[in-house]
Chain A
């Protein structure tokens, strides 16, 4: 594939950003979830 570095780099950049954002959101959610009692965790 011509210009594979740029093309694969753009895909990597996109998915890495989405992955990092998802990871950050989950980590933040888990930290908040740890602060409340299990009985109040309506999603369980």
Chain B
């Protein structure tokens, strides 16, 4: 275990002063600058340069942040599952993989929370309500609750190895929910999907553009936009 020598914490005046508060490397700084630049780009195009959609009007601008957040959450949860698998099935059983799994799950939970919150704002503009018990929305909420549970399980008692093992098992099971969320619109005909299917006179161009633009939102349909 590393111990801290108080004498070493006092620097001599002649010694160069290291940036004690910094925890970044050149690579992480570059990634940070890239992220900030990309976010500025997103705001400029999402709110400024991009025209309003023909049917969704200005509310389509919400999708430029809504859809990427759920894809980031998917990616984070896949990283959690892969790291969990590497912890469980490698001979060394390094706790580093367990920490990577936990850190990635935290990122995923944050982004699913954003997805649900921003999606409800989009739903209010599109459907007239903040929430509907649609298959896509319900399974996304279930995904959120499952990974909250995963983070809770990580805080349960036991040795590091015991906690890592039980979290790794849960992390590998929970990832199965991702295809469930993504294909929920096809697997279950919710009220929204039925309206789309039953509406044989529907404008295919409208529904096509709407569905492609809102890949992670519940399948929008004309009947829903009218309330």
Q: CB within 8 Å of B: which residues of A?
A: 1-4, 6-11, 13-15, 17-18, 21, 26, 29-30, 32-41, 43-44
Contact call B24/A43, Cβ cutoff below 8 A: yes
Contact call A44/B22, Cβ cutoff below 8 A: yes
Q: CB within 8 Å of A: which residues of B?
A: 2, 4-5, 8, 18-25, 39, 43, 46-47, 57-59, 61-62, 65-66, 69, 106-107, 110, 113-114, 117-118, 121-122, 124-125
List the B side residues contacting A41 at CB < 8 Å.
18
Known contacts A9-B121, A21-B107, A40-B2: does B23 contact A14 (CB below 8 Å)? Answer: no
Shortest Cβ distance from residue B112 to the other chain A in the assembled complex, whole angstroms: 11
Selected from B8, B114, B121, the residue in CB contact (under 8 A) with A17 is B114
Known contacts A11-B46, A13-B114: does B39 contact A35 (CB below 8 Å)? Answer: no
Q: Which residue of B lies closest to A5 (CB)?
A: B121
List the A side residues contacting B106 at CB < 8 Å.
21
Contact call B39/A15, Cβ cutoff below 8 A: yes
| 4 closest cross-chain pairs (CB), A and B | A29-B23, A10-B118, A14-B65, A10-B62
Shortest Cβ distance from residue A7 to the other chain B in the assembled complex, whole angstroms: 5
Shortest Cβ distance from residue A4 to the other chain B in the assembled complex, whole angstroms: 8
Q: What is the bound-complex CA distance between A36 and B18, given in angstroms? A: 14
Q: Which residue of B lies closest to A19 (CB)?
A: B39
Contact call A37/B118, Cβ cutoff below 8 A: no
Contact call B62/A17, Cβ cutoff below 8 A: no
List the A side residues contacting B107 at CB < 8 Å.
21
List the B side residues contacting A21 at CB < 8 Å.
106-107, 110
